[in-house]
Amino acid sequence: MVLWWILGFALLGSLGAVSAAAAFLLFPKRVRERLVPLLVSYATGTLLAAGVIGLLPRAIEQGGLTTSLRALLAGFLVFFVLERLLIWRHCHAESPCEVHGTTGSLILVGDALHNFVDGVVIAAAFLSSVPLGIGTGIAVLAHELPQEVGDFALLLDSGFSRSRALLWNLLSGAATIPGAILAYTTLGSLQGIMGPVLGLAAASFIYIGLADLVPGLHRRIGPDPGFAQFLLMLAGIGTILGLQLSLG
């Protein structure tokens, strides 16, 4: 039963997000440029809440306080190094950034690795409990949607045709599924390491929220979008909190 939950959310957060992002490209660029920061703000709220009040407390419950916080700290370092090595970035700007301007294939490799980790996080959360998994899956879906919109724009900018960009994005998005299945099969029999794994999962969400998404929001200085962004961040937090209160 848990496997179906895991596969459902892995599909939703990967192929579902890519398909929704492809549909999103039908909107005029002006509309997309206004909507994407709002989606990113909502995603930031869900990631921070799912990491801090969802995954981290469960890591502490299952692995103890010291071990979980060490795993969290180690996670921040691991994700920093991975990001530097593989240019794994959440770039939501619609114009090529310093890194992404170079080549479309690098975006795809980094994205595939990131999606693989998302799959591991989804499976670890569901193996811990179904309500934690649902909150985690929603946080994955929320940040993947604007990320895929950004990736589409960057691939098109680096010369991919629409159908090629869709195909490659679907392929790199599909990496969530092997990540989820691998974590399901290995973690199922290794309950002893669930605490540290959930600590790493929390680190992944907090890192993406604070290190990748927030700086992008700060860069957008327009006719004061700050208040709307803050409200949407609160809405993201409210979604996770509401789920926790209703699902237990």
**Least spacing, CB of residue 206 vs Zn ion, in Å:** 13
Give me 90's structure tokens: 């959440």
Distance CA 210, CA 188 (A): 30
Site string for Zn ion, 142-181 (x = CB under 5 A): --x-------------------------------------
| SS3 per-residue string spanning 12-31 | HHHHHHHHHHHHHCCCCHHH
Nearest to Zn ion of 60, 118 (CB atom): 118
Contacts of 20 (CB under 8 A, 6+ apart): 145, 148
Q: Which stretch binds Zn ion (CB under 5 A): 4-12, 76-84, 118-126, 220-228?
A: 118-126
**Least spacing, CB of residue 30 vs Zn ion, in Å:** 26
Nearest to Zn ion of 83, 144 (CB atom): 144
Q: Do 77 and 85 contact (CB within 8 A), yes or no?
A: no
Nearest to 143 by CA among 3, 46, 5, 70: 46
Residue 118 found at the interface with Zn ion (CB under 5 A): yes
Q: Binders of Zn ion among 205-224, rule CB under 5 A?
A: none
Distance CA 140, CA 142 (A): 5
Taking each helix axis from N to C terminus, what angle separates 130-157 and 29-49, rounded to the nearest 10 degrees? 150
Q: Which stretch binds Zn ion (CB under 5 A): 1-9, 98-106, 137-145, 167-175?
A: 137-145
Q: Which stretch binds Zn ion (CB under 5 A): 21-29, 46-54, 110-118, 175-183?
A: 110-118
**Which residues sit at the interface with Zn ion, rule CB under 5 A?**
118, 144
